[in-house]
Amino acid sequence: MATFENLLYALDSATGILTITLNRPAKLNALNAATIEEIREATQQALDDPEVRGIILTGSGEKAFVAGADISELAALNDISGRRAAERGQEAFCMLEESTKPVIAAVNGFALGGGCELAMACHMRVASENARFGQPEVNLGLIPGYGGTQRLTQLVGKGKALELLLTGDQIKADEAHRLGLVNHVVPLAELLPFCEQLMTKILSKAPLAVGLVIDCVNAFYDKEMNGYQTEANSFGHSFASEDFREGTTAFLEKRPAVFKGQ
């Protein structure tokens, strides 16, 4: 297993829930190139580990999930290195989005710039009451580079996405919930327990079916894929699984299903 300098990687072997914590509290967990690379490595490690069944992503401390990018590092980039930095960030975040293991962002404070982009790459977002969201890159003469212009539009619609992207305004957790940017808002002390409860409910379902649902929903937003055909293919694939046979048998026998992810 890889070791990380900027992340905490904690797997609960009893539940299969992996908690990845961004751990740069002195920098409010700001993203630099090294941290983005560790996110990519940690995600790959989780995908390769059969003991990991679901991922919760959060930030250390009570102030920030990720307060943004490391501005001192950004200031040294040019057009070529900036494009490459965006590509590397997009690659890392797409790994989370395309994971067939469910990923929940537990947003425990500021989620600005790259932090908002990271949260949006997760399958669901649960925010603490003190959370703040925004894409303030225009204040620096920049635009989002890690998928923010695309995922924010998908989540809140074109008009509101453009307003947030062009003004750089921050919004509170309750407004983010109203817009559909987050799924739930809870007190900070309840954030991780709530996410664990939600993840436990998801993990009680058939693992192959969960992964296929994620694939199909992602296909809706992929211009190179036909979402309906992906759904039909995946629907057919699920019939060949042992989980399908177990699920239908358990239903007919009026007992809880015991899924094995096969």
Residues that are catalytic: 117, 137
Burial class (CB in 10 A: 0-12, 13-18, 19+), 26: exposed
Q: Which residues pair with 69 in a beta bridge?
A: 31
CA–CA distance, 110 with 107 (Å, rounded to integer): 8
Question: 211, 100 in Cβ contact below 8 A?
Answer: yes
Tokens for 136, please give them: 């303030």
Q: What number of CA atoms fall less than 13 Å from residue 45's CA on the CB side?
A: 17
Question: 138, 112 in Cβ contact below 8 A?
Answer: no
Tokens for 112, please give them: 């600005």
Handedness of CA 166, 181, 170, 109 (dihedral sign): negative
- Distances from the Cα of 16 to the Cαs of 47, 52, 54, 145, 254, in angstroms? 12, 5, 7, 32, 26
Kind of pairing between the strands at 17-22 and 7-12: antiparallel
Give me the amino acid identity at 192: L
